[in-house]
Amino acid sequence: MEEGARRREAYAQRQATALASAGDRSAAYGRVLRVGVPDFAHGVALYLDDVTVSFDGFKALNSLSLAINVGELRCIIGPNGAGKTTMMDCITGKTRPDSGTISFGSNIDLLRLAEADIAQIGIGRKFQKPTVYERLTVFENLELALAADRRVRAALFSKLSGEQLDRIGATLERIHLKDEAQRTAGLLSHGQKQWLEIGMLLMQDPKLLLLDEPVAGMTDEETERTAELFLSLEGQHSIVVVEHDMKFVDQLTQGRKKVTVLHEGSVLAEGVLSDVQANEKVVEVYLGR
Ligand SMILES: Nc1ncnc2c1ncn2[C@@H]1O[C@H](COP(=O)(O)OP(=O)(O)O)[C@@H](O)[C@H]1O
Ligand SMILES: [Mg+2]
């Protein structure tokens, strides 16, 4: 089993245990509320300020500052080793920075939360490799993901309500897998597995979605459909996409959205894609490798 899937399964199990001992759902709510409810009134979904991470003295992130607005779709590009994945690791609590600030909304200090809590308060992450439950059907994968939603945790132990079935149906449609609902996930194409994993994230209705190279290994057609999918999510979720495929970034940003270029752990340039691609410093770091 993939590491991510193992992690999820362990998590689902922990939730089940917590639920059984708590007796009902309100106790679980209480736990989330203690962590806090993010405040998005100022329009900022995610804020990184002066974040530095060193690995044996090497700075993977070097005083990185970045803000993502509520509902924004932001593409982050940069050569290999720029620190893109490390940035996501810091946001999700997998790696602790040496210094700096990371907040969710204007009030939640992510550096004080455990990885599982960060996922619970509405930050969903997709790793580079798809991590789905290969032996379950597409539908069952989504059902399990729904059960991890704090609002419907009890779903694991009861029949799905009409509303939950509708949510799964809507997600199946959105990720282009309606006709594959009863198929074993292991039999899907690589691209379809990626979509399924995105669907699983969507079942938890995250406020912020972090997607690391989501179209790597996809066919051109799958890549185009993925861009359409992300564009359809814009506004409802804040989305951070790390990607190398410039055609995909162009399709996502439509010549007007801001792209951030990371290099050596900090922001090298920001602007629309055509501008950053024409930027001398950016050209240099891409050609220099
Ligand atoms: N756990 C780690 N231990 C040591 N070095 C790491 C670790 N994670 C990342 N790095 C290094 O940090 C730099 C940034 O890596 P990464 O964030 O994966 O870059 P990107 O995703 O932009 O390609 C690279 O030089 C990488 O080798
Ligand atoms: Mg990476």
The pLDDT tens digits along the chain (289 residues) read 455 555 555 544 544 444 333 333 344 444 444 567 899 999 999 999 999 999 999 999 999 999 999 999 999 999 999 999 999 999 999 999 999 999 999 999 999 999 989 988 999 998 777 789 999 999 999 998 887 655 555 545 567 778 888 999 999 999 999 999 999 999 999 999 999 999 999 998 999 999 999 999 899 999 999 999 999 999 999 999 999 899 999 999 999 999 999 999 999 999 999 999 999 999 999 876 5
Say if ligand 1 is within 6 A of residue 86 CB.
Answer: yes
Closest C-alpha to ligand 1, atom 2? 55
Say if ligand 1 is within 6 A of residue 157 CB.
Answer: no
Atom of ligand 1 nearest to the CA of 262: 22
**Which pLDDT value is given to residue 28?**
43
CA distances 68 to 56, 226, 260, Å, are: 29, 21, 11
Atom of ligand 1 nearest to the CA of 86: 17
Say if ligand 1 is within 6 A of residue 182 CB.
Answer: no
**Inter-residue contact 193 to 175 (CB < 8 Å):** no
Cα–Cα distance measured from residue 194 to residue 241, given in angstroms and rounded to the nearest whole number: 14
Which residues does 279 contact at the CB level (< 8 Å), separation at least 6?
261, 269, 271
Say if ligand 1 is within 6 A of residue 55 CB.
Answer: yes
Say if ligand 1 is within 6 A of residue 265 CB.
Answer: no
For the purposes of burial, counting CB atoms within 10 Å of the CB of 160, is it exposed (0-12), middle (13-18) or buried (19 or more)?
middle
Say if ligand 1 is within 6 A of residue 81 CB.
Answer: yes
Q: To which residue do tokens 């990885």 refer? A: 115
Say if ligand 1 is within 6 A of residue 83 CB.
Answer: yes
Which residues does 168 contact at the CB level (< 8 Å), separation at least 6?
139, 142, 143, 146, 160, 203
Q: What is the pLDDT of residues 214-271, one digit of tens each?
A: 999 899 999 999 999 999 999 999 999 999 899 999 999 999 999 999 999 999 999 9
pTM: 0.85
Cα–Cα distance measured from residue 232 to residue 246, given in angstroms and rounded to the nearest whole number: 19
**Which pLDDT value is given to residue 163?**
85
Cα–Cα distance measured from residue 166 to residue 124, given in angstroms and rounded to the nearest whole number: 21
- Ligand with minimal distance to 56 CA: 1
36-122+208-289, what's its fold? Rossmann fold (3.40.50)
Give the Å distance between the CA of 86 and the centre of ligand 1. 6
Q: What is the pLDDT of residues 207-225, one digit of tens each?
A: 999 999 999 989 999 999 9
Residue ranges of the chain assigned to CATH 3.40.50.300: 36-122+208-289
**Which pLDDT value is given to residue 31?**
45
- The 10 Å CB-count burial string (b at 16+, else e) for 121-137 is bbbbbbbebbbbbbebb
**Which pLDDT value is given to residue 149?**
58
Say if ligand 1 is within 6 A of residue 92 CB.
Answer: no
Give the Å distance between the CA of 213 and the centre of ligand 1. 15
